[in-house]
Structure 1
């Protein structure tokens, strides 16, 4: 057995750069473990042996006839040969004297489009005489290339031999939501996020483009929305930017699902069209009166104004032209009744016996068919449209075959209610999947922090500082995310209507300066659960085993340019199991 990293005893305590420190690991720290993230469905490696890659290693053929697979092959060939990843605990293997010269790639259906439900399975076999990767579609081939890239390690890269992996995702929808309205993200930072998603075999970038704070996308039919509603020059996305993001995402096997939130969360529209927005730009929480919004700023589209639908249809038409994905997310969350009633026309409607539910239903009835029939898209709404505590529509307004509902509320039963009603569901529970939670409140002039002494309590850690309005605390650690079962309490039949899940980064307290650390490796935890689950073959949660792999994966992501935050001290990584709560 040969460790593929030099070793030396550490007789003195010194502070060394990580790259040098990894060269000095004691031989007792070595293992025969393969670290792959997310964990494959089925993996067999009976004898720990490896083979060096030829300096002229290639992936054949290059599939130049498929633009996006060709780009992926080029990218992974370069990554495999240049990464030279040194595992924190290097595998101990029998090293072959020959070289692996190529990976033979076979794809059954090159024409399969990247869409919901596409086959992402692959079969990977590596022996001393050659390596083969077979996949049904280009998108499955990309998942297999990612796995192969993680199998390579060492200064002169080697890969395991006698290895067989069959792999396919547990859920077809494995997503990440990024809010680009509250704070702006450059195209470069979005591309880096999509690249990291592909490393984690995630396949849906849910782009929450607009909200009350800004309207940053330039749309040909309604250019004034961005001209007046964005944060200004350099803080919007042009048609060329959108096309660049979509092309790059396709080369990573990632769908881009756009969201324009409405009729709530539309204060930014008022800069261009004040006549169609109620209660725009008012203080959000007037003293002694109902709040006009869930957070600053205020403004909602007026369902009774005819021009509303002219503008909305222009927006939706441009969105469908720019984004090829079959899903179009139309928001419909957190409609505020007090904001609507600030408009005299709405007040007269209510006084004449109309209801807030009827207002929302009018808006849905005049926009949902347009998205479905004219634009030929499947509509995604937030759960509020059907389950909102204050405003909601009747199920008759939402055909189940053309509507998907995305859950976000802390009410655990909402997913069950959605699938029982016959809808497909995407799960984004704020209790588990909201990455912005636990950071404290962001509102200024908040007296709730001004608490100097704790109330009497038996808690040893009673905090006198106040919660500062952090409604979704605590911070969602990777373990909380990893242990979440999105099918909890569903029957087998109900579970079939759950497409998958999405973690969400709302950007009140995030921008591109902190983006990587906010996302990774916590998003990696969700990625594995959505790909292969969080239980072993005996049905037991595997978070203890996942801990060590995630540590290793985090260091590899950092080496790949993703500034992921650490999950433990390095000492824990070097002493597996010693930092566990239970042995």
Structure 2
């Protein structure tokens, strides 16, 4: 085994489960994998046009529309709106703000919505948050507070209330906060889109007494359907409360997939009723295990936050993987399921799997190595692909190596530190993550096969004490890039604009109990743009 971890994911498989409730998916585990229905997979990054906003031509309004990788500015007059950004993270795909101002939020503000087992808890959660947060911005918005009546009610309308939380589910919403009325509206196709709209509303509220931006319409939808975080809970253990805090922050960032790398060669913390000895011999101890009740709690919490849980059960070595794939694929297909594998099963020459078994129409790949090159290899072969490039999306990189007694660190001053002893170094900054285009070098047809991406935190040198700061706000950078892109209306990268908004978003996350790390000194925040550079500094 390579102590630096280069092969730690090689040959291992995982799968997506549409629903983890009740605890029945483990009944279909064979060699440690579970699978989901291919009918829920949609390889399209941009939803159909019939529900896209068409706000062009409104007098005196700022209308911004983003479609795939091009963001089009359509404004008859920029008016006042240019000086008043919509401080929502991720940045919405489309908004109009004809007369920027704010109104008070009524102390008796309420939210009405259709009854739903997961939307209803979300409504209650956001209502409490909006009513009690009293958020204090880093820079107080210079927006006039008008004498209009306070906002009393948000009315939610959902057209497809029974839509399950599945890959490709419609997450679009339209949020309207009027200037001279006491009722705002949130219209969504599904409950999951309504949750995204509730998050946006919560970020428009600040101050004590609470006030809210008004006179605006936001129409929003994601660019990519798969936007996630992988967390390794095998090398170091994370308690259930840590996982719940992570999922809550993911939802706030409009991420929708928690890829739970539950087990690996270091430990097996998952309790399986059918194989009790795995956890007895494989866990770090009785207090470092996940019971069936723990897993159900995590999945229920995910559903209440619009986040799917993807469990990954590692397989010990290439031979076991080969046997599993070659012997079980026919059975898997008979169940009308689709497996998701790490790219190694077809790109690693040391793994001998019959290529005819892993047909593109019945298989999804996740890439982690060689950046855009391996993404290109997978999609050009016809595979739907999830991008987790270690060159850009591995959050553990740049912290050295975990091996002890390593003479590589005993060097004379002045030696070239290269990657600092980290196999995937250097550290992946939020700017690097934000600016990465996961469809780089692909044709339009190939790009359609990219389902989205995941940042990954492997835990050789991480545990609950550093969980928040290792992930946030770098995962926020990916969240915006995959939701609304990383370019402005002219096609230029918008990381300068993102810096100011991300500073504010970090502050809001911290106010919600997420210990995100800062990205700039406070001086930069209080002097917007003064820390920007237009020339590379390294």
Give the shorter-chain TM-score range. 0.7 to 0.9
Q: Is the 8 A contact 1:123 1:133 kept in 2?
A: yes
Higher relative contact order (CA 8 A, sep 6+): 2
Q: CA deviation at 1:33?
A: 3.0
> Per the alignment, in what secondary structure is the counterpart of residue 166 of structure 1?
strand
The alpha-carbon deviation at position 454 of structure 1 amounts to 2.5
Kindly indicate whether residue 63 of structure 2 is the aligned counterpart of residue 102 of structure 1. no
2:120 alignment counterpart: 70
Q: Is the 8 A contact 1:448 1:467 kept in 2?
A: no
Distance in 1 (CA, whole Å) between partners of 2:332 and 2:285 is 30
The answer on whether the counterparts of 1:432 and 1:484 sit within 8 Å (CA) in structure 2 is yes
C-alpha distance after superposition, 1:265-319 (max 9, x if no partner):
x2xxxxxxxxxxxxxxxxxxxxxxxxxxxxxxxxx3754xxxxxxxxxxxxxxxx
Relative to structure 1, is the Cα distance of residues 396 and 132 closer, same or farther in structure 2, using a 3 angstrom cutoff? same
* 1:448–1:468 contact (8 Å) kept in structure 2: no
- Give 1:44 deviation, angstroms: 1.5
Matched, 1:220 2:277: no
Shift in Å, 1:228: 1.0
Alignment of 1:32-431 (within 5 A): 32-61=84-113, 63-64=114-115, 66-97=116-147, 98-127=149-178, 128-129=180-181, 130-262=183-315, 266=316, 300=317, 303=320, 360=322, 362-374=323-335, 376-431=336-391
- 1:121/1:135 contact within 8 Å kept: yes
Q: CA deviation at 1:422?
A: 1.2
Aligned match of 1:475: 427
The counterpart of 1:518, out of the listed 470, 489, 494, is 470
Distance 1:416 1:442 in 2: 32
CA distances 1:376-403 after superposition (whole Å, capped 9, x unpaired): 4321100000101432434312022221
Q: Which of 480, 485, 507 is matched with 1:555 structurally?
A: 507
Aligned pairs, number = 450
In the alignment, structure 2 segments of 5+ residues that lack a partner are 1-82
Q: Please give the alpha-carbon distance, in whole angstroms, between the structure 2 residues aligned to 1:411 and 1:519.
A: 20
- Cα distance in 2 for partners of 1:373, 1:250 equals 28
The 5 A counterparts of 1:424-503 are: 424-455=384-415, 463=417, 469-503=421-455
Pairwise CA distance, 1:582: 2.0
Q: Deviation per CA, 1:395-430, whole angstroms, max 9, x where unpaired? A: 312022221000000243111111111110000000
Note closer, same or farther for the CA distance 1:301–1:384 as it changes in structure 2 (3 Å cut): closer
Contact 1:198/1:253, CA 8 A, preserved across alignment: yes
Q: Deviations for 1:69-99, whole angstroms, at most 9, x for unmatched residues?
A: 0000000000111111111112122223211
TM-score calculated relative to the size of structure 2: 0.81
User: Over alpha carbons, which structure has the higher Rg?
Assistant: 1
Q: Is the contact made by 1:438 and 1:476 (CA closer than 8 Å) also made in structure 2? A: yes
Distance 1:410 1:301 in 2: 20
**Cα deviations across residues 12-68 of structure 1 (Å, max 9, x unaligned)?**
xxxxxxxxxxxxxxxxxxx7333110000001223221111110101113x33x110
CA deviation profile, 1:174-214 (whole Å, cap 9, x unmatched):
01000000000000000000000000000000001110001
1:77-131 deviations in Å (ceiling 9; x for gaps): 0011111111111212222321100101000000000001100000011013021
Contact 2:393-2:454 at 8 Å conserved across structures: yes
User: 1:514 deviation in Å?
Assistant: 0.7
Post-superposition shift, 1:144?
0.3
The separation in 1 between residues aligned to 2:280 and 2:407, in whole angstroms, is 36
**TM-score, structure 1 length as denominator?**
0.75
Measured in 1, the distance between the counterparts of 2:284 and 2:513 equals 28
Contact 2:420/2:426 (<8 A) preserved: no
Q: Decide which moves more: 134-143 or 224-233.
A: 224-233
Partner of 2:268, secondary structure, is coil
